[in-house]
Structure 1
Amino acid sequence: MIEPTHYLSSTVKGLKPSGIRKFFDLAASMEGVISLGVGEPDFVTPWNVREASILSLEQGYTSYTANAGLLELRKEISYYLQEKTNVSYSPSEELLVTVGASQALDLALRAIVNPGDEVIVIEPSFVSYSSLISLAGGVPVSVQTSGEMEFKLQPSDLEKAITDKTKAVILCSPNNPTGTLLNKEDLEKIAAIIEKYDLLVISDEIYAELTYDDVYTSFVSIDGMVERTILVSGFSKGFAMTGWRLGYVAAQPEFLSAMLKIHQYTMMCAPSMAQYAAIEAIKNGKEDVLHMKKSYRQRRNLFVNALTEMGLTCHVPGGAFYAFPSIKETNLSSEEFAEKLLMEERVAVVPGSVFGESGEGYIRCSYASSLEQLQESLRRMQRFVQKQKAGV
C-alpha cells in the first residue's frame, strides 16, 4: 500500500481549507438554522435569462465556443464596460469569458506571477486570494486595514509593504467581506503608488453592480491605470447567476493573450448555454439589477441599524451584501462567537478571522436573505449578545 500524502504537492498540502465552507457545512447538517454565511443572492436568475439558455439548448447550441467565449457576448461586455467605466475594450483582443470570476483571478495570477514574486492582498480579504497566489508560485503579502477607518486601505500602509519583489496588488471594491467601497479619491491615491513603484493591479469588481449611496468608480477609470490593471468581474452577484459559473476578464492584449493560453489548456471555454444566458442578462437585465439593488439597500439599512441597536458597532457598507460588525464587546473571539451563535441560536455567520488578521473581532453576515429571515436572525442575535454581555 502506498501513502498517498507522500505524493501530494507541498503547496497544496500547505493550503488551509476555506473557513467559510467549514461553517456552511456545519450549518447544513443542523435543523432550523438561518444562514447568513454564504455570499450568494437569494434571488432566482430572472426568467428571461433562464429562457435564453433553454432556447439555446433547444436550438442545439451545445458545442464548444471560441476559447475566449462567444464573440457576441464579448461585444456586449465591451459595450457594458464602456458605459460603466468609460474605457473601451476590444472584444477580440482584450476580453476573455471565464468559468466564474474565480477562474479569472486564477488566470490573472498565473499569467503574471513568477516563483517568489510578491502580491499584496488587502485584508480583510476574500479567502481565495492568498491561496491562489501561492498556487501560482507567488508569495502573498498582507496589508491590514482597521474598523476605525471603515476598512479603507491607507496609502501609507500599502507603500510600507512594497519591496523589490512586489509584482502586483489585488483590490476588491466593493469589498468582500467588509462591504467597503473605495471612491475616486481613494483610488487616485492608490494609483499614484502603483505608478511610482511600477506595479500591476488585479481589480476584483464582481460586486460593482451592487453599490448603494455613492457613484461606483472602477480602478481602470483612474488616469493611467488601464494599462496596469487586469479587471475581473462576472455575472454571479449583480445578475444573480452564481450557479451558471460565468465571469470575464478585461486587460491589455499582452496580458489577455497570456491568460488565454492557460485557459485553452485548462478549461477550453466557458459553458455555451451559460454564455447565451449572459448575453440576455447583460442586454436586457438592467431593470432586474436595479430591483435587486434596491432590495439589498433596504435590507442593509434594516440589518445595520439593528446591529447598532444591539450594541455591535458596524460601519455602513457601501456595496456588496455583507455587514461586518465588531463583536469585541462580547469578549469572544470571532470563531468562538460564530460557533456559540450557531449552536445556541441556530444562526450561521462567518468569523472575521478567516478573512485575515484584521478580521479578528468581527463577523461577516450576508443580508442576501428574505426580510423575514433577517428579522428572525436579528432577534436571535440580540438575545445571544445580551446573554454574552451579561456573562450568562
Structure 2
Amino acid sequence: MSSRYLSDKVQEIQPSGIRKFFDLASKMENVISLGVGEPDFVTPWNVIEASYHSLEQGYTAYTANAGLLELRQEISLYLNQYFSVEYNPENQLIVTVGASQAFDIALRAVVNPGEEVIIVEPCFVAYESTVRLAGGIPVTVSASSENGFKVTKEQLEKAITDKTKAIIICSPNNPTGTVLTKSELEAIAKVVTKHDLLVISDEIYAELSYDEKAVSMAAIEGLYDRTILISGFSKSFAMTGWRLGYAAGPVDIIQAMTKIHQYTIMCAPTMAQHGALEALRNGRDSVEEMTTSYRHRRNFVVKALNEMGLECHLPGGAFYVFPSIKKTGMTSEEFAERLLEEEQVAVVPGHVFGESGEGYIRCSYATSIKQLDQAMKRMGKFVQKYI
C-alpha cells in the first residue's frame, strides 16, 4: 500500500545482484565467498594511526565542502606523479564519500533529463541505476570476450545519437579485469572528440595493474577537458569502510559537483580524510605489497579455472576473474545458486553486470591463497559433474 508514495525511478531500479548472493552466503556455514569486491587486507596501521591522531588533536569539525585542501594537494601530486595528469587542487578536485558518490554527483551535474549515457558492458552494477537516478537514459554497448572484453570505436559510433552526452569507461574493469592500453584509449578519444562528448572515467582500480601500468583517460590527448576522473582509496589502499573517494576534472564541472555535494553531504568524514592524507604520503610500500600478492593470486586462480574447464582470460588489473561457464549448459544465475548450495562457494552471476555478462561468473581473488585453493578445489569438483 505504501508503494504508491515511492517515485517511479526508485521502483524501476533493481536491488544489487552482488548483494543478493553475499546475503545468501552470510546465512550459510562453511562458505568461501568470492563475491564482494573488497580487499582482504586490513587498512595499513599508519593510516589508522593518523586517523586516531586527528581525533586526539581535535579535528572533528567539518572540512571545506571540497575536502581538506591539504588532501586535495596530495591527490593532485599523486595524480601528476603516477598518471601524468595535473589538476589544480583549489578548484579541480573534490573529495567525496567513496567513488560511488563521486559518480552520483558527476552524473547529476552534467546529465539533463532524456540525455543518453553510453555504458560499456560488462560493467559495475551501479552505473545503469545511477544514470537513471540522474534522469539520463543508459545505452549499453557489449564488449565481447573474443575481443578481450574491450569495446571498439566502431561499437561506440553505432551507439551514439544526437541525445548522447557521455560515455562511462572503467579501466581496469570491474568485473572482467580488462585494462585498456594507451592506443585503445586513443581510439575511443577520437570518437569522443568527434561527437563532442564527455567521458566519466572510473579509475578506482588503476593502482592494481599487473602487467603494464594503467593509463589515465585524462592523460590521452584531447580528453583532459572532456574527462571526469573518478577514483578513491577503497581498493588500492584497503580502505573500503572509510568511504573516501574523489573526482578531478574541468573547473566548471567540479564546481557544479561541489554545489550538489554541499546540499547533500556537506563534506566527507574528517577523520577519514586525515587517514587518506597519510595513505598518499606514506602508503606506497603497502600498496606495492598488496599488488604483488594480488598478482600471485590472479595467476593461481586463472590457471586453476582453465584447468577445470572454465575458460578464463588473464585479467590485467583489479582483483576479479570472469570465467565462462557456458560449457555447463547453465545460466550464470543457475550456476551461482547450485555452486553455493552444493559446494558452499559464493560467486556473482555474470548477468548482473549486464546482458553481455550472461554465461560468465565473477570471482574475486581478494582473499587468501589458502581460501582460494580450497575454493578452486570445490569448484573443480562441482564443474566435473556438469561438463
* TM-score between both structures, scaled by the size of structure 2: 1.00
Q: Distance in 1 between matches of 2:186 and 2:27?
A: 46
Which residue in the other structure is 1:21 paired with?
19
Aligned residue for 2:385, secondary structure, equals helix
1:93: which partner in 2? 91
Note the C-alpha offset of 1:85.
Answer: 2.1
Other-structure match for 2:122: 124
Take 2:125 and 2:23, find their aligned partners in 1: how far apart are those partners?
16
Secondary structure of the corresponding residue to residue 165 of structure 2: strand
Q: Which residue, 104, 107, 118 being the options, matches 2:105?
A: 107
C-alpha distance in 1, partners of 2:111/2:100?
17
Amino acid at match of 1:291: E
Question: What's the secondary structure of 1:66's corresponding residue?
Answer: coil
Unmatched 5+ stretches in structure 1: none
Structure 1 Cα separation of the partners of residues 213 and 174 of structure 2: 18
Uncovered stretches (5+) of structure 2, i.e. residues with no partner:
none
Paired with 1:323 and 1:13, the residues of 2 have a C-alpha distance of: 32
CA displacement 1:53-103 (0-9 Å, x = unmatched): 000111111100000000000000000001122121000100000000000
Which residue does 1:248 correspond to in 2? 246
Give the structure 2 partner of residue 223 of structure 1. 221
Residues 117-155 of structure 1 show CA distances to partners (whole Å, capped at 9, x for unaligned) of 000000000000000000000000000011111101111
Among 356, 370, 379, the residue aligned to 2:368: 370
Question: Following TM superposition, by how much is the alpha carbon of 1:215 offset from its aligned partner in structure 2, in angstroms?
Answer: 2.1
- Structure 2 CA distance for aligned equivalents of residues 133 and 215 of structure 1: 29
CA RMSD, Structure 1 to Structure 2 (Å): 0.5
* Aligned mate of 1:282, from 275, 280, 283: 280
Q: Give the letter for the 1:176 counterpart.
A: N
- Tell me which residue corresponds to 1:265: 263
Aligned length: 387
For residues 215 and 205 of structure 1, the distance between their equivalents in structure 2, rounded to whole angstroms, comes to: 12
CA distance, structure 2, for counterparts of residue 40 and residue 326 of structure 1: 22
What corresponds to 1:235 in structure 2?
Answer: 233
Paired with 2:289 and 2:55, the residues of 1 have a C-alpha distance of 28
What secondary structure, in the 3-state scheme, does the structure 2 residue paired with 1:388 have?
Answer: coil
Q: Distance in 2 between matches of 1:307 and 1:10?
A: 42
Q: Which amino acid aligns with 2:257?
A: M
User: 2-side partners of 1:216 and 1:341: how far apart?
Assistant: 34
Shift of 1:331: 0.4
1:37 pairs with one of 32, 35, 50: 35
Counterpart residue number, 1:388: 386
Q: 1:329 aligns with which of 324, 327, 338?
A: 327
Partner of 1:291: 289
Name the SS of the counterpart of 2:318 in structure 1: coil
- The letter of the residue matching 1:344 is E
Query: Which of these residues, 338, 341, 344, is aligned with residue 343 of structure 1?
Result: 341
Indicate the residue corresponding to 1:60 in structure 2: 58
After superposing on structure 2, the runs of 4+ consecutive aligned residues of structure 1 that deviate more than 2 Å are none
Distance 1:24 1:215 in 2: 31
* 1:159-198 alignment runs, 5 A limit: 159-198=157-196
Deviations 1:325-355, CA, capped at 9 Å, x for gaps: 0000000000000000000000000000000
Q: Hey, what's the Cα distance between the residues in 2 that align with 1:214 and 1:316? A: 13
3-state SS of the aligned residue for 1:382?
A: helix
Counterpart Cα distance in 2 of 1:216 and 1:232:
14
Q: Aligned partners of 2:224, 2:97: CA distance in 1, in Å?
A: 23
Q: Deviations over 1:12-39 (max 9, x none)?
A: 0000110000000000000000000010
Corresponding position of 1:142: 140
- Equivalent-residue separation in structure 1 for 2:84 and 2:288 (angstroms): 20
Tell me the residue number matched to 2:210: 212
The Cα offsets for residues 214-243 of structure 1, whole Å up to 9 and x where unpaired, read as: 121110110010100000000000000000
Q: Is it true that 1:47 corresponds to 2:45 in the alignment?
A: yes
Match of 2:197 in 1: 199
Equivalent AA in structure 1 for residue 160 of structure 2: I
CA distance in 1, matches of 2:138, 2:238: 30
TM-score of the aligned structures, taking structure 1 as reference length? 0.98
The equivalent residue for 2:354 is 356
What amino acid is aligned across from residue 158 of structure 1 in structure 2?
A: L
Counterpart for residue 318 of structure 1:
316
